[in-house]
Copies of this chain bind each other. A is one copy, B any other.
């Protein structure tokens, strides 16, 4: 991996200094609460293969909801538009774990990035793969080229222990017949997916096909068609950032997906994929410093899609 033009990211990191200390590290499970708040890493992967990194870009962290993006990518690559028979693709206007819309819409989750939607995706993944639980992990190892990716079992167990809202969503989905597998098993597999650890470098590389017309980084061929890549980007932009979809598009201008581990993956179609990590979260559960970093990035490089 060759690292060029470090000055851009270094410049962004300097500009971010005043942003630290304003958010709060996720504390709903102990394993996440112990992550040092001042961690910061960023990796930019251009479609021509160049990679830029700064800070803790090589340090693995909990990808959490970013896993939803790759679950969607995997399913689209396997079954195509059939995914949309089981989840919608409209923004919810609400928070990530609300049951209200789910009840109003008879158990069809509004989009794949709500927890309810991700549980349906997990159920689909399990159905496609004889309930093997490491499907997504293997997909991420292949995409990132990093065979050492692992599930953090302490985090997974802790998520499972505190996963009452997800269980509630799972059983509600089951009551509508929207989940085929055993609910508890779906929750287990979902929690394991969220507890996968990856670095910014891993994530940027894994997301590159979305920026690169479906082609994986290096010489491995395509994982999505160009049209599929574009459409996943569209769903990310309109649904990826919970209840701040509009503000994020306004400020950053890239399709993106964040997780409560403090990571955000974003895509500048035709240009680059980028991953940023800073554990302090804003009130909506997105990385506070990470969002600012991406805003500086698109502003400095004029790479907003708008």
Contact = CB atoms under 8 A, between A and B. Distances in A.
B250 A89 contact: yes
Interface string A292-306: 000000000000111
Interface in A104-127: 104, 110-111
A245 interface: yes
A233 interface: yes
Nearest to A229: B306
How many copies altogether? 4
Nearest to A210: B306
A164 B172 CA distance: 6
A88 B245 CA distance: 12
16 contacts: A88-B246, A90-B91, A91-B91, A91-B238, A93-B101, A93-B110, A98-B103, A99-B172, A100-B104, A164-B174, A165-B172, A165-B175, A167-B171, A168-B169, A233-B306, A237-B237
Contacts of A75: none
A269 interface: yes
A260 to B, nearest CB: 16
A171 B164 contact: yes
B238 A253 contact: no
Contacts of A244: 90
A221 to B, nearest CB: 21
Interface in A204-238: 229-231, 233-235, 237-238
A51 interface: no
A220 B211 CA distance: 36
B165 A243 contact: no
The 7 closest A-B pairs by CB, nearest first: A93-B93, A164-B175, A168-B171, A233-B306, A167-B171, A90-B246, A168-B172
B90 A90 contact: no
A167 to B, nearest CB: 4
Nearest to A104: B100
